[in-house]
Amino acid sequence: MADEPRKPAIGKDEWVATHEERTAGGRRSGLERRWQRIPAVVRLALVVVPAAVMPLFVSSDYVMQVATVTAIYALLALGLNVVVGFAGLLDLGYVAFYGFGAYSFALLSSDQFKVHWPALVTVPLIVVGTALLGFVVALPSRRLLGDYLAIVTLFFGTIFVVLVTNANRITPPWKDGPVDITGGPNGIAGIDQFDLVFFKVETVTQYFYLALAVFTVVVSGLFLLNDSRVGRAWRALREDPLAAELMGMPINRLKLLAFSFGAGIAGLTGTIFAPLQNGVFPSNFDLALLITLYAMVILGGAGSIAGVVIGAVTINVVLEVLRTPEKSRVVFYALVLVALVAWLRPWRLLASVLAGTVAFGFGVHAIAAAAWPEQTAGSPGGPGGWIGDAVDGWMVLLTHPKSGGNAAYGLLLLAICLLTLIRGRWRAAALVPVLYLASFVWENRLVTEPSITRLILLGSLLIALMNVRPQGLLGSARVEIV
């Protein structure tokens, strides 16, 4: 009957199933719901087609290089998402599979051993070999979870870097002297271009199209895999391994399969990276790359294919923008303004904090210029741009900013910790000097240190996101009943 109340479905926890509709944090916007209604093929085309057309309007090799590296990062993030997002396994040795693929391509397509096989032969062998390596690594790890799995896989990743760094002086049993396998710290240079027999990939733009084509194939395969029985079993494994095992799922085999798939994608990506860079080196596969990849997956939302792609694009583009002081200033002040607009309510409170920060800055600048004119005669670090010109008369710029900037950075961390303990209008009032102190540290210390600044801003962005939306931009919130 139409008026008959709907009864709970047998075998289904409807409270969990309707969690996202019942909670404000889980409601999806109308735009996101309409996006999900679009067929998957059309959604993929809406991403791939504009990317494919972009080189027609771009003449800068630098922009194309960034675009190609972004596509490579997206592939790596997709492979890591299989292990971490789909199956819920904390794999800290993932970068080693990427390095294995890159070094294998270098050994089979360079003068290192005078082997010059075409890519149509080497790539399938490397993908299968990397997947088998993932299977072998997962064998002793299949009964481990959480921190224990992380320790074992991290050990494997560390061994790989040590091995390729020192494998230039290995003496095999059938040799009288050492053999240089990986080139040691100097790596392997002069790698052959990606040869498809009928076509050789040589320019950056051609590598971009190659990476985009591989990306399209990988995304399509993962979408189908995610909706298959294996994909649903991976999600069950991720949510509760014990419950999945009690339901008859072969969780050990599922773990081995997840490691193999993720490793295969990483190895495939390595075969594109090696000829693009025209060399492979141990430093290409260090811990910093692993942290960056995890940041991409966390930002986009573990388990979401579209999310990790968005995370890869966002983080790589932001890191490139932060290489120059002028552009990094725009990113810094834009992030601060967006955070204030998002969190400060009502609007008059936002206006009061902004006006108070501006007035506070001019007052501190006037006092410092009158009291210590010699110590505050500095200038904006690097090319200032219009933002640098704007803050020149508002911000105290130290003549010798290094020591003062370091002390201010420590004070800023303490101030932020204290700010979390204050409530109400006192927090809004304390926010004014904290914002000015953050700008002081930025202008005097961080803006001229792009390598440090990039990591700090990336970490701050992730911390803020995890507090606001722990599941990432497009990830699904986990429901736990205690």
HEC readout, the chain: CCCCCCCCCCCCCHHHHCHHHHCHHHCCCHHHHHHHHCCHHHHHHHHHHHHHHHHHHCCCHHHHHHHHHHHHHHHHHHHHHHHHHHCCCCCCCHHHHHHHHHHHHHHHEECCCCEECCHHHHHHHHHHHHHHHHHHHHHHHCCCCHHHHHHHHHHHHHHHHHHHHHCCCECCCCCCCCECCCCHHHCEECCCCEECCCCEECCHHHHHHHHHHHHHHHHHHHHHHHCCHHHHHHHHHHHCHHHHHHCCCCHHHHHHHHHHHHHHHHHHHHHHHHHHHCEECHHHHCHHHHHHHHHHHHHHCCCCHHHHHHHHHHHHHHHHHCCCHHHHHHHHHHHHHHHHHHHCCCHHHHHHHHHHHHHHHHHHHHHHHHHCCCCCCCCCCCCCHHHHHHHCCCCCCCCCHHHHHHHHHHHHHHHHHHHCCCCCHHHHHHHHHHHHHHHHHHHHHHCCCHHHHHHHHHHHHHHHHHHHCCCCCCCCCCCCCC
Return mean pLDDT, the chain.
85
pLDDT band at 32 (very low <50, low <70, confident <90, very high): low
Q: What is the pLDDT of residue 277?
A: 94
Per residue in 290-323, pLDDT (tens digit) is 989 999 999 888 888 998 999 999 999 888 888 8
pLDDT tens, 169-207?
887 777 777 888 999 999 999 999 998 878 889 999 999
Highest mean pLDDT among 165-174, 361-370, 403-412, 463-472: 361-370
Using a pLDDT cut of 70, give the percent of the chain over it. 89
Residue 280: per-residue pLDDT: 96
**Per-residue confidence (pLDDT) for residue 385, from 0 to 100:** 66
What pLDDT is recorded for position 482? 44
pTM of the predicted model as reported, rounded to 2 decimal places: 0.85
For residues 236-253, average pLDDT: 88
